[in-house]
Amino acid sequence: MRPIKIYQEDQIPSPTLRLWMLFSANPFALAGLWGVCTLLLLTLFGTYIAPFSPEAQDPRALLLPPSWDPAGTVEHFLGTDDLGRDIFSRLLHGARLTFGMSLSIVATALSMGFVIGSISGMMHGLKSSILGHLLDALLSIPSLLMAILVVAVMGPGLNNVFWAVGIALTPQFVRAIHQSVHEELQKEYVTAAKLDGANGLQIFWFVIMPNVWETVIIQTTLAISAAILDIAALGFLNLGAQAPSPEWGAMVSQGLDNLLTAPWTVTIPGVAILFSVLAINLVGDGLRSALTPIRT
């Protein structure tokens, strides 16, 4: 039996619950979250539910259109390419190479950028000024161009793409965290914490960081979409994943020869890339809108 409430008490939601309430009130952000959850499931279990191997060739089903076309079959739901490989199976296997790798790259870049940006943000004087100008110079180079330069030195391949895109994205995290920590360090509440006897580590973790997590979350969502585009672009330029890899950018590149006769070999992996970036951006925009009222 539920207890009877005699007095009407206002239930004040916690910051996490309030964040979820504001986020879920945005239908576009919620749709993006469902899309991201779908991509995560495909990344984890896509290789197990794929009906065919990504390299399996069927000479009797060359350039077969998708199943909704009168000439298509349900067996090959999204059609086949010029070698008879099932596009649906290749998309499921490629989710781990494109979306899954982007998450790993961003996690690595975030870890490195968090450490470097936090240490530099707590610095003062000449060291902080030199690092700030150095980061401005690095950020003047687009991440894709920097990744191409790194791949050109290290050579093509998915392993080199991991480090190339990670190196290209790390300065963005370092700059964002450095700038946020440095700005918060000048606030009056930090001075009050120092007067209360808090040491540098306590000031950083318990005083400054609660006001910096918003920047970290937003930068992470932006970096994931940038990593997806960079991985796909390097695969498209034959600098990343090499044939017969089912990476989505490489699939677009491999289907260009049949663009006019079999446009689904290009458009379907292109739509997968577009869907991934759109879902991530919708979630990032929803988090940005939800975090702003909480902070204010």
pLDDT score for 9: 59
For the cut 90, the answer to whether the pLDDT of residue 11 exceeds it is no
Query: Within 13 A of 295's CA, how many CA atoms are on the CB side?
Result: 13
Q: Distance from first CA to last CA of the chain, Å, rounded? A: 40
Beta bridge partners of 86: 80
Residues 183, 187, 191: CA angle, nearest 5 degrees = 130
* Mean pLDDT, rounded, for 23-32: 92
Note the Cα 18 to chain centre separation in Å: 24
User: What's the Rg (C-alpha) of the chain?
Assistant: 24
Could you tell me the sign of the dihedral formed by the alpha carbons of 212, 213, 215, 220, in that order? positive
Highest mean pLDDT among 86-90, 116-120, 166-170, 202-206: 86-90
State the DSSP string of the chain. -PPP--S----PPPHHHHHHHHHHT-HHHHHHHHHHHHHHHHHHHHHHH-SS-TT---TTSTTPPPTTSTT--SSSTT-B-TT--BHHHHHHHHHIIIIIHHHHHHHHHHHHHHHHHHHHHT--HHHHHHHHHHHHHHHTS-HHHHHHHHHHHH-SSHHHHHHHHHHHHHHHHHHHHHHHHHHHHTSHHHHHHHHTT--HHHIIIIIIGGGTHHHHHHHHHHHHHHHHHHHHHHHHTTSSSPTT---HHHHHHHTGGGTTT-THHHHHHHHHHHHHHHHHHHHHHHHHHHHHHHH-
HSE (CB half, 13 Å, CA atoms) of 6?
0
Place of tokens 């690595």: 108
Q: How confident is the model at residue 188 (pLDDT cuts 50, 70, 90)?
A: confident
Q: How many Å apart are CA 48 and CA 146, to the nearest integer?
A: 35
The pLDDT score that the predictor gives to residue 248 is: 93
CA distance 295 to 290: 9
Q: Is 251 in contact with 271 (CB distance < 8 Å)?
A: no
* Beta carbons within 8 Å of 48's beta carbon, 6+ residues apart: none
Average pLDDT, the chain: 86
Residue 294 has pLDDT above 60, yes or no: no
Q: Picking from 38-52, 202-216, 268-282, which range would have the lowest pLDDT averaged per residue?
A: 202-216
Peptide bond into 244 cis (omega under 30): yes
More confident residue, 15 or 32: 32
Question: CA 149 to CA 162: how far, in whole Å?
Answer: 13
* pLDDT classification of 183: cutoffs 50, 70, 90: confident
